Structure 1
Amino acid sequence: MFTIREFLRAEVKPALGCTEPGAVALAVARAREELKGKVDAVCAVVSDSIYKNGVDVGIPGTDGLRGNNVAASLSAFCGKSEYGLEVLKDCSRDNIAAAMDLLEKNAVQVVPDLEKHGVYVKASVRSGKDEACCIIEKSHTGITEVTLNGKTVFSAETSSAGSAATGASITDQVAGMKFRDLVSLVDTMDTEDVEYVMAGVDMNMAIAEYGLDPAHTTGLDVGKTIKEHSGPCFDSEDLSMKIKAYAASAADARMAGTPMPVMSSAGSGNHGVTAILPVAVCAAHYKKEREETAKAIAFSHLATSYVKSRTGRLSPTCGCTVAAGAGAAAGITYLMTKDAEKAAEAMLLILGNLAGMMCDGAKYTCALKVGTGAIEAYHAALIVMGGHHPEAQGLVGHNLENTVDNMVTVSKNGMENLDRAIIEVINQRFA
């Protein structure tokens, strides 16, 4: 069994830009670090989900450049694997110019393997006669193998066999836990854990406020538009619109490639935006204490991971609304009631409401979905606190565990070809 600190360090991490091109860039960076000369070519074979999620999303610090191929090319010049999902944070103008030159030579390829699902990247980087490869699987930072000219220089199996880090990952452990046992970890938080969680609040609020700033144009300006049309009640009365605007503006900025990190949740930056900001905005509105706020946000992270550990790191459904929306609903409810059972009931409302929302890749319109997840989380909390709870109907089962199982069944059996269909539609634009 893991501690709350181990959970937070594994599931709640800073990420710069979308985590799918981030994973591509990380694999390229780790492979390149085995080479001595300049990079001649890059080829990344990725899963359907990685390909779909990285095609249209902005790459931080590039003034609007988008896509997995840009991330792969850029990482060949400035990527550092030690930074994890902030792999491209040292990007410079010279690096961008070099990356674009490599792309113009058609020396960078990112191709989908439609038989690979979830998180999978195999990056091959060539320099002269030498070629290095890096494979990432299961999690966005899960480097499982690195080779140089066909010889293994790193293997996760070998590494873990020689250490005490054997056994199931935290994500795998979460998948086998009961909800009440998992969320009870909030009761074990100490001051260090509180400060770590609140650092995530500061990080995500900063990018939200950047997106709300009239001086910046970010994506579709969803959050800014909501704020502008909310009028004078935005900072006083209309909490639901404030929650939606802050969450959407953070996603606006992030999807447009603003070079600011966010605190992620369950492997996704947009999940982190949805899991954190609705709870934080609500806590500020009701003037909750710092520790109380941190515990509610940690509750949201735990609830988000509960859903994601069962649906998979990447899935056909939109995780930032379904999983993180459920997490935020649980977090707000816990903030206001300290009742884990009511928090689970709020999650049922989100799952019954948004489970059918599909993921069609990371892009500007994700801000609309993040905003939807945020405001519906707040509304779900209000409904439950008003004394209502959903009966078993549709995908909603008799309890949270049964409902999530139902959602997973529909996702796997009814939506298994969705990613393939979406990729076909996307690729028609490039034909």
Structure 2
Amino acid sequence: MGAKQRIYTAGVLYYTVLKIRTDFRKGRQEDVMERNDPRYQAYVEILKEELIPAMGCTEPIALAYAAAKAREVLGVLPDSVQLQVSGSIIKNVKSVIVPNTGHLKGMEAAVAAGIIAGSAEKELEVISEVSEEKKSAIRDYLQTVPITIEHTEQGHVFDIVVTERCGQDYARVRIADYHTNICRIEKNGTVLYEVPLLDETVQEDARADRSLLNMQDIWDFAETADLRDVADLLERQIRYNNAIAEEGLLGDYGANIGRVLLTTYGNDVSNRAKAKAAAGSDARMNGCELPVIINSGSGNQGITCSVPLIEYAKELHSGKEKLYRALIISNLVAIHEKTGIGTLSAYCGAVSAGAGAGAGIVYLCGDGYQAAIHTVVNALAIVSGIVCDGAKASCAAKIASSVDAALLGYNMYKCNQEFKGGDGIVMKDIETTIKGIGRLGKDGMRQTNEEIIRLMMS
């Protein structure tokens, strides 16, 4: 074959492939979700429910929220407090600094902050405004009022019961299953408010149906959604989470993983993506008083889903619209993965969020759905062994590892490499793999979680 013939053949092949891709995309347009589609409405509601602000690690803040609500119901300052909490709450509160307390740690500090300075109507920003006078009062309260802690298991991995007493009066508040779910309020033997708790295997009726999430629909929704429905949520996520990431690099927080990464490995975009996400985590685990927008009940997961994409969008000059659509993918993929695992587990949530971030980065880089699902599968195959041993400084390093795995997973796809079905926990397709990861995180690692809690409490 001569040179001209080879050029002609290559040109025909190129335009044939281009036409196939164009026809495929046109075909997909027939399946675009309209606004009145239940999936479209569910996805918007899921983002509204999940992308909410929180100050500090969300488990101690949930304790502060419950304590503030009980104080509100009691009507006076309690002279004794009893906490009944599940092991996963102990695990995730033990080692983090509670913001706006003068660098106090632990469950007692979170509860005292909620009682003395909390505004229950602010939910996960319950202690976002604390004066110096009230910080001093929190310390005094801890020294003078008995706060007892009881480890109880009542069939819910996420479970908090706060009972506050003053003389013969008491108020009790229970939060279960997720961070703002007050399910019972009681005062002096009278139930003031109660909603039934479902078995953890049952979809929660009060929230949007997460069982509607799947990778193909997430991708289609992100590509075609009317951004007016979600732009304010995503803009707030960009603003809040980028701010705490930058503060993490400037300040001295935790193990300063972000600065270690930049000093050791340089300033290219892939390293900046890891470093800034890690820095945001280090800051919020170690007393920074800036809020974050969370994902799946976790600030660390919210940071991991967003900050790497912000860095890639800057590098690629992507523009706001493309970044918004990438963030839709990242956030919803992470929520989809986490739905089967549950709110708290021995399975590190940064892994799910990192894989979600990888899918969002694929979109920013101009690749399509196939690249995204291979990136997610590859990332999950690489780092699904990371355990959650509570909230603390090392979360930042786990975030960096998870984002790194996502970037490696994407580069594997670009080099025509992949982990195939049957390779360990990788299943025949993306949805089966995500379901398998859910089983691993929720059921398979239940005993692991209990052992981690025993180790931490010993």
TM-score for both structures, normalised by structure 1:
0.90
Q: By how many angstroms is 1:257 displaced?
A: 1.4
Alpha-carbon distance in 2 for matches of 1:149, 1:87: 25
Aligned residue type for 1:201: I
Q: Give the aligned partner of residue 226 of structure 1.
A: 261
Runs of 4+ in 1 over 6 A off after TM superposition: none
Structure 1 residues 111 and 371: CA distance shift in structure 2, 3 A: farther
Q: Kindly tell me: are residues 412 and 14 of structure 1, through their superposed partners in 2, closer, same or farther at Cα, counting changes over 3 Å? A: closer
- Aligned runs of 1:163-178 on 2, under 5 Å? 168-170=205-207, 173-178=209-214
Matched length: 412
Structure 2 residue 172 is matched with structure 1 residue 137: no
The residue identity in structure 2 corresponding to 1:409 is R
1:285-314: per-residue Cα shift (whole Å, max 9, x none)? 111010100110111000000011111111
Give the equivalent residue in structure 2 for 1:34: 73
What's the secondary structure of 1:94's corresponding residue? helix
Q: Aligned in 2, Cα 1:326/1:86: closer, same or farther, shift over 3 Å?
A: same
Any conservation in 2 of the 1:175–1:310 contact (CA below 8 Å)? no
For residues 258-292 of structure 1, what are the alpha-carbon distances to aligned partners after superposition, in whole Å with 9 as ceiling and x for unaligned?
00001111111000011111111111111101010
How do residues 82-97 of structure 1 correspond to structure 2 at under 5 angstroms?
A: 82-97=121-136
Distance change (3 Å), C-alpha of 1:167 and 1:269: closer
Is it true that 1:240 corresponds to 2:265 in the alignment?
no
Larger radius of gyration: 2
Question: Is the CA contact 2:340–2:439 (under 8 Å) kept in the aligned structure 1?
Answer: no
- Which whole-Å CA distance do the structure 1 matches of 2:335 and 2:364 have between them? 18
- 1:10 positional shift: 0.2
2 CA distance for matches of 1:3 and 1:404? 20
Residue pairs, 1:17-416, within 5 angstroms: 17-105=56-144, 107-114=146-153, 116-156=155-195, 168-170=205-207, 173-186=209-222, 187-191=224-228, 193-213=230-250, 216-231=251-266, 234=267, 238-320=268-350, 322-337=351-366, 339-392=368-421, 393-416=423-446
Partner SS for 2:325: helix
Helix, strand or coil: the match of 1:296? helix
Instruction: Please give the secondary structure, in 1, of the residue aligned with 2:98.
Output: coil
Contact kept, 8 Å, 1:3 with 1:185, in 2: the verdict is no
Go from structure 1 to structure 2 and tell me whether the alpha carbon gap of 1:68 and 1:189 turns closer, same or farther (over 3 Å shift): farther
Q: CA RMSD in A?
A: 2.0
The 1:243/1:4 distance shift into structure 2, 3 A limit, reads same
2:54 is aligned to 15
Letter in 2 for 1:262: V
Do 1:271 and 1:319's aligned partners in 2 also have CA atoms closer than 8 Å? yes
Contact kept? 1:329, 1:347, Cα under 8 Å: yes
Q: Which runs of 5+ in 1 are unaligned?
A: 159-165
Q: Is the 8 A contact 2:340 2:442 kept in 1?
A: no
Aligned AA for 1:367?
Answer: A
Name the amino acid aligned to 1:284.
K
Change beyond 3 A, Cα 1:117–1:291? same
- Report the more deviating stretch, 255-264 or 33-42: 33-42
Cα gap change, 1:263/1:107 in structure 2, threshold over 3 Å: closer, same or farther? same
**Percent of aligned pairs with the same amino acid:** 31
CA distance in 1, matches of 2:256, 2:53: 23
Question: Which letter maps to 1:328?
Answer: A
User: After superposition, what is the alpha-carbon deviation per residue over 1:126-156, rounded to whole angstroms, capped at 9, x for unaligned?
Assistant: 1222111111111111111111112111223
Contact 2:100 2:135 survives alignment (8 Å): no
Question: TM-score normalized by structure 2?
Answer: 0.85
Conservation of the 8 A alpha-carbon contact between 1:4 and 1:189: no
User: Distance in 2 between the 1:6 and 1:405 partners?
Assistant: 22
CA shift for structure 1 position 114 = 4.1
CA contact (8 A) 1:194 1:295 kept: no
SS in 2 for 1:124: strand
Report how far residue 416 of structure 1 moved.
1.6
The aligned amino acid for 1:194 is A
- Contact kept? 2:356, 2:376, Cα under 8 Å: yes
